Structure 1
Amino acid sequence: MNKKVSLFFIAFATLILASCSDSGNTITDDNSATSTAVETSEVKDNANESSLETEEPKENTEELFQQVRNNEPTSERIAALEEIAMHYYWYGGDMKKAEKELFQGITLHGDYDVVEQSFARATVIDPYDVELKRSLASAQILQDKIPEALKSFEEIIDIDPDNFEAHILHAAYSKVTGDTDSFEKDIQKLSEIDQERGQEYEVKFDSIEEIEKTTLNSEVPENITKDNHAIITLGYALSDEGEMQETLLERLKVTLKAAEKYPDSKIIVTGGVPKKGHTEAELMYDWLVEKGIDKERIFKEALATDTVENALFSMDIVREEGLQDITLITSASHMRRALVTFNEASQLMDTLENKTSNREFTNVVYMDYDSEEEAQKVTEEEEMVIYRDFIRTSGIWQFPGLQR
């Protein structure tokens, strides 16, 4: 079996086995429209999402290095570099070995640096492959190298002036850096390439600006619509011992208050990264039941590995259960990104149902800032990950064909 396929299925099986449970409303790949695309990776630069830290598989990276060094066919050398990139993205690895065996003369500063250098090498082998260049740009974004990423997107546009995805990405990160002129030029070009789709993204960008102004509530709001209402609580990385950490416990305390204030609301707990045989969703479910919440109210979404999957998989439950308005619960530093991704996922569900739900999203946060005033400020770093995850949720993968 191809090594890439083998690696994927090993990791996928691990997630599925870890998420199985006999109690509650656990969502599995049998009844989730999006779960067939579950990845085994997590964006590691985010301290407010679940963090996948699985044991490195017994994959012979030396053999992959050998394929790149030797006179293998072009396609096989590129495939080996892609596999090296995904190996270090998912699991990390020996950077000194990568320096010695593959990237002589380059000092590597982290796993994402290996990802970047792997795609950089691949783009040298095939400088016309725009998807490799997009993967290179994504690796640069993961390391906060926005100017370098913008240059990579511009190289794609030089090769393919009508590349819609490249203009979307260039527009988003130009906006993050405050380059309004470039943003507006990209938006205009998008409408020229595909008027309907371009206008849709222009509306989405405007919507993100409005969401970024949202007031973060540290107390459960009054007068939330009670009919078909759902509370969705986002998970947070379990400890190496498979236990809930303070951040997740604080989110659950907020959830308990909301659940008691709105006793008819359904509750979705989302988080599927396994540690010691447990997922966040399972432990969150158990904690709420122990505190007196009726287990029939709670749905366990135990497959998601990051914020994008939290949104896609949870909103699939919302769609299946006929739920309408949503109250999101997560940390204040994570809420704006969650609101953006869940709104985008909600629009996808509307598309699948061929309807307009006009769903209302409210929020309650665990305040992880020193003050509410500080919490309302959106930094450039936060805005970068907001746009990154929005684009991923909208269907444009970070690493085309490899990783959402």
Structure 2
Amino acid sequence: MNKLIMVLGAPNDDNGQLSPIAIDRLYRAFDLATCYSTAKIICTGGKGEHFNNTSKPHYYYAQEFLILKGIPKERFLKGIASTNTVQDFSMSKSFLEKYNPDLLIIITSEFHIERVKLIAEKIIPKIKKFYASVASSLTEEELKPLKEHEKNAVYFLKEHGIKY
């Protein structure tokens, strides 16, 4: 079976240290990569003022985390240097359609999953997907602005559509 695990990016600091959001997603990726030992892995996230000011793309740090946990380097496909969720899918669309996985496992945070589903179903509707949402290790207080942002983003996409 041709499975592909896609880990959506999250912030890292100016030294490349992954945020708790990124680490939560990567631990889920590690668990799934261990369960599906032949699945390839693709990480997303480039550089951007609001999430990564380093000289390397976020996906580099995500891959390094998983490699240090024991996932072989050969399992990783080229990362996607996206700067937002729409780009995660629009920049990987042609590759995903060509790769044509039997199942695309998309990993993101629980607070982000509704928007991810809207975008993925619009941009890559023909690919069979499984959404693996991850509970956040952030406090409710830390999650509150993120949940509000997601609520507004979902509303905007429903009102204005997804342009890519």
The TM-score, its normalising length taken from structure 1, stands at 0.35
Give the equivalent residue in structure 1 for 2:143.
none
Cα deviations by residue, 1:90-117 (Å, 9 ceiling, x for unpaired): xxxxxxxxxxxxxxxxxxxxxxxxxxxx
User: Cα–Cα, structure 1 residues 275 and 383, in superposed 2: closer, same or farther, change >3 Å?
Assistant: closer
Cα deviations by residue, 1:162-221 (Å, 9 ceiling, x for unpaired): xxxxxxxxxxxxxxxxxxxxxxxxxxxxxxxxxxxxxxxxxxxxxxxxxxxxxxxxxxxx
Question: Helix, strand or coil: the match of 2:82?
Answer: coil
2:121 maps to amino acid: N
Q: Identify the match of residue 130 of structure 2 among 362, 382, 393.
A: 362
Q: Does 1:261 align with 2:39?
A: no
User: Cα–Cα, structure 1 residues 241 and 389, in superposed 2: closer, same or farther, change >3 Å?
Assistant: farther
Note if contact 1:271-1:280 (Cα within 8 Å) is conserved in structure 2: yes
Shift of 1:320: 2.7
Shift of 1:392: 5.5
Note if contact 2:43-2:79 (Cα within 8 Å) is conserved in structure 1: yes
Shift of 1:315: 2.9
- In structure 2, C-alpha distance between the alignment counterparts of 1:267 and 1:336, rounded to whole Å: 22
Cα deviations by residue, 1:37-92 (Å, 9 ceiling, x for unpaired): xxxxxxxxxxxxxxxxxxxxxxxxxxxxxxxxxxxxxxxxxxxxxxxxxxxxxxxx
- In structure 2, C-alpha distance between the alignment counterparts of 1:332 and 1:243, rounded to whole Å: 22
Note if contact 1:239-1:275 (Cα within 8 Å) is conserved in structure 2: yes
Shift of 1:369: 7.8
What is the percentage of aligned positions where both structures have the same residue?
A: 24
Note if contact 1:272-1:281 (Cα within 8 Å) is conserved in structure 2: yes
Shift of 1:332: 0.5
- In structure 2, C-alpha distance between the alignment counterparts of 1:388 and 1:324, rounded to whole Å: 31
Q: Does 1:286 align with 2:64?
A: yes
Shift of 1:229: 1.7
Please give the root-mean-square deviation of Cα atoms over the aligned residues, in Å.
Answer: 2.4
Give the equivalent residue in structure 2 for 1:5.
none
Q: In proportion to residue count, which structure has more strand?
A: 2
- In structure 2, C-alpha distance between the alignment counterparts of 1:238 and 1:282, rounded to whole Å: 11
Q: Identify the match of residue 326 of structure 1 among 100, 104, 110.
A: 104
Shift of 1:290: 1.8
User: Cα–Cα, structure 1 residues 246 and 240, in superposed 2: closer, same or farther, change >3 Å?
Assistant: same
Q: In proportion to residue count, which structure has more helix?
A: 1
Cα deviations by residue, 1:138-172 (Å, 9 ceiling, x for unpaired): xxxxxxxxxxxxxxxxxxxxxxxxxxxxxxxxxxx
Shift of 1:296: 2.0
- In structure 1, C-alpha distance between the alignment counterparts of 2:73 and 2:28, rounded to whole Å: 17
Question: Helix, strand or coil: the match of 1:231?
Answer: strand
- In structure 2, C-alpha distance between the alignment counterparts of 1:301 and 1:368, rounded to whole Å: 23
Q: Greater CA radius of gyration, 1 or 2?
A: 1
Note if contact 1:345-1:394 (Cα within 8 Å) is conserved in structure 2: no
Question: Helix, strand or coil: the match of 2:12?
Answer: coil
Shift of 1:263: 1.1
- In structure 2, C-alpha distance between the alignment counterparts of 1:320 and 1:388, rounded to whole Å: 30
Q: Does 1:393 align with 2:162?
A: yes
Question: Helix, strand or coil: the match of 2:78?
Answer: strand
Give the equivalent residue in structure 2 for 1:241.
15
Give the equivalent residue in structure 1 for 2:90.
312
Give the equivalent residue in structure 2 for 1:36.
none
